[in-house]
A and B are shown apart, each in its own frame.
Chain A
């Protein structure tokens, strides 16, 4: 159980780290919001089978994020007006 917990935490951190690499503001913010909300929603899950299924789903998505960060960053644009203000 403890190893499963570690795996989940590792996945959570990886998803946030990779998601924050989107150069596109909207994709980046969505990725972070979605990852946080998704993990929060299922944080009380105890069924190991379901946790395994979530892990598989999360890992697939981590691969998608890694690939898409690369693709999106190949065609990056200027920052949005809103980013200039917050930086």
Chain B
């Protein structure tokens, strides 16, 4: 079986287009390296006589060189200025910042405290309210579990939304196992929280509301200030996962009445493996720590603070504060350009709210094109169909399902993530490649053909077998 498949491949490669159209099945597919291999087999016989030779030649040329990076929601590159601030603490200044008896400790402590102040300045808090953690996942765990458990005697209820990041949802699941009640609020078609629903969900025994600032998959900005105000008036603690928002949109914990906030280093051009947690001191938010140990970080997060990483996070915050407006304008420029180019195609649907959105994250569905196939075809661009955490599975994103996207559209979504270092040329290149491949994949799709003929696909009864 293997050998025969191999020989078919060879035939496919050396033969002209006319011959190739006769080679049906797997071999014809393999001969065109740009065609994804996970297309259902029913499509293959249909597509083999439609593929144009032009796509064949170009790919071998394109695969030379590294892909462009357009996945800024998964992670961002380390800013050289951030690395420059970190390097001294990875080389010369190696003291433990908690050592109080010698100069090595003092110089590290000074650096960590400066970083703490830089973070505090960005979000308008007091440096004492900042706790260093290993990342937003840990910050979210500490907030959700820590607050709920501390107040568990009198309050047994937590509210969150269906579009939260996995680590918040999973922390809530863990709480449910401990006897807490969790309300998973649905979101509107555009991904926003319905304020009336939120207000109705708050009960006398609600201890915490946890709602993210900017969604990692669809870039929707929640009305954080309104939620904060509501929570304050109802005396419920408000936690927000701001991993995707910090340094990108203005956030002020005082003005927005945020009680707890998670920050991640590597989403704002800082190092991976570090994050921060803002915990309000007045009125005090109390937390049951998850980790036992030496009592560092006010006992909330024991363990030695990694000096270099903390310094990097601080510098990244300081740069973001200075350049937020500049970066934001650039994101708008890039995203408007890509949107304008791609919306020139028919049946391109934008997921998430158009108005309340962070422009650096653009989630588009290309109807009649399977997202995974498109990703495979776009090997020269690093893209994702959704969260990096779930990118290994072919399941459609739970965020897209929560905003009520149809199953087929949820399968055909691609997330474009821009960053400070993305160039206009990269966006234009991406637009051209996406348009080309969407057209090509649609040409192969019998569903697209039926749609062109005006058949309503939802009315068709597919036979089962």
Contact = CB atoms under 8 A, between A and B. Distances in A.
B326 A37 contact: yes
Contacts of A27: 77, 80, 421
A47 interface: no
Chain A interface, >50% SS class: helix
Interface string B380-405: 10000000000000000000000000
Contacts of A80: 65-68, 426
Contact of B68 (A37, A78, A81): A81
B453 interface: no
A68 B375 CA distance: 33
A84 B64 contact: yes
Contact of B65 (A29, A30, A37, A78): A78
Contacts, number: 60
A78 B67 CA distance: 10
Nearest to B81: A64
A9 interface: no
Contacts of B326: 34, 37
12 contacts: A25-B423, A26-B421, A37-B326, A64-B80, A68-B80, A72-B80, A79-B66, A80-B68, A81-B62, A81-B67, A81-B429, A82-B426
Nearest to B323: A34
> Main secondary structure on chain B at its contact with chain A?
mixed
Q: Which 7 A-B pairs have the closest CB atoms?
A: A68-B80, A26-B421, A81-B65, A81-B380, A64-B84, A29-B423, A30-B421
Size bin of chain A's contact surface? 20 to 34
A67 interface: yes
B422 interface: yes
B278 interface: no
A4 interface: no
B269 to A, nearest CB: 10
Interface residues of B, number: 22
Interface string B60-83: 001011111100000001001101
Nearest to A63: B84
Interface of B: 62, 64-69, 77, 80-81, 83-84, 87, 326, 380, 420-423, 425-426, 429
Given A71-B80, A81-B64, A82-B425, 18 more contacts: A26-B77, A26-B421, A27-B421, A30-B420, A37-B326, A71-B87, A77-B66, A78-B66, A79-B65, A79-B66, A80-B65, A80-B66, A80-B68, A81-B62, A81-B65, A81-B68, A82-B65, A84-B64
A60 to B, nearest CB: 10
A18 B68 CA distance: 24
Most buried by B among A22, A30, A67, A85: A30
A28 B201 CA distance: 50
Contacts of A72: 80
A83 interface: yes
Residue of B69, B81, B84, B380 contacting most chain A CB atoms (<10 Å): B84
